Structure 1
Amino acid sequence: MQVHTLINPTVDQFLEAQRALQPRFMYFQGQQLDKEEEIGRLVWGDADVSDPQIFSSLICPPFPTIVYLEVPSGEKIAQSLQSKDSSILNSLEDGLNALLNIEFRWCKLQDRVSAAPPLHVDSTLLDGVVTICCDITTSSSSHVSLLHSGSPQTCFDDKLLEKHIKKELIESRRLVRVVSVSEDDRPSSAEPLTSMSVASGASTFEVLMTLPKWAAQVLKYLAQETSYKSLVPLGIASVNGTPVSSFDRQDVDRLLFFCTNQDEDEAIANGLYHHPPRWSASLAKDRVKGNMVSKPAR
């Protein structure tokens, strides 16, 4: 393991070193003043970079896997930056829900046949209720089979049935939800993954989500369609092990360009090709100067 140390750098020196080295682990330590036992704020020259907003602008793609903060405000910085993780994942969740809504808003009923009622439904609730298996196609021609239970008037009227299916799929609930994974439970896939069959070999990270099986089936179908590009702007390179076939090298370069351009919108600048780092903050107020043996490592 190579260790690079920067002592009291300027902001420009730090950013230049970060771009050149692209470290996987970063450790920051605040000032150690002669007359103070406690570790001070993170000050480089005349610049106090302990403010969460200022500090977050210093960590640029490709992001490190872990950032360790040894400063009094470390926990506050970590919490503010972790909230950005949620914002990014929420945007991804919104994007996928929007794509699925588009798919089902224009879905068409192809066929319907009688079916047995769902096993988990109380039989006393099924009086006067008909259950049928519906075959539908989405706007991108993905085929999905669904069970629908309702009144005979609804189930045997194709137009009314199609309307009910659309309403249930689009208006009733969000189909995709990101699974929050705690730091202790984070899977090994929190490390960057690389495969030449996914995103032309660029580093990717796994995001866990919950969604109905048939919705996952639609996304997997869309991933295989070379003409379907709507997953690419979201930074999605693979769906449940199926590479997004429309994701090419130019898309990788384009996303990386936006990620490294700090003037771009924050949601793009923190694009999904570079997973935000894990943040940890020590209780610096309980750590005295004499106990410190490490130097700020870079």
Structure 2
Amino acid sequence: MGSSYSNDNAVHSPVFNRRKLESLRDYLLGYQPPRECGKYINILLFGMEGAGISATINTFLSALDPKGRITNLAPIERNRKSLTPTLNYCGSNYLRFWDLAGWNALENKNDPMQVFNMILEGRILPGTDLHEFNPSFEDKHSIIPENIIHGVAFVFDMNTFDNIDLYIMKQFQELQTLVAQKYIYRIVIGTKFDQLGIPERYYSYIYNYKLLQEKFQKLSEYTGMDRRTMFAIINTSRGDKIGQTRCMLTLYILENLVRNINRYFKMIE
């Protein structure tokens, strides 16, 4: 593959074949959440406008479909000026993926840390417009057990995260620290790596790609998260079915989330 790739700094080594893909999908579709989770495992996807949060949720749902059909349940807003940070979720079996439309779309009148904390605790109802939500009345919003977040994925566009203000990155660092303090499993998902110049025939070696490794290292420094918790995903759709490589990368992320959430609950029993 040439000097653009390195095995030494690869953070993951997923196996790419049809048998492994089906094994992962069967495991995820047949898995039962820990008793403490209730009926669902709730995963919050969190990032800036344009990072690809809704597209990532649709990729998750497409990869979980037994026939690999492209799913577009999470609406993708094309007009960024009209974005409203509304808390919503889409689900597949026991998995629910929670989405709000861009952290930087939240108005300054709200305390981001307090709002984020209330989302993690399941205190904010689905469909809530966070522009209108007042977190100062936290005691009036009781915890809804089935809405408690069990895993968080911080989503970054691999092409633009270098341009995020360092003050905003500091906020992300504080937010991921809050997640860690609540003993919630957290990862980073890098989107749009297909725009980094890697030939499509090498997508199955994406974690060996030096440019992505360098970006993961920089994200680790910015956010304070370990590079081993960082994953890459392809959200670009072609045709009406998800491709095998794209599907494999997606299921690999979901398996990591599920297994580690399960491990977290076993550790605190």
How high is the TM-score relative to the length of structure 1? 0.22
Larger Rg: 1
Higher helix share: 2
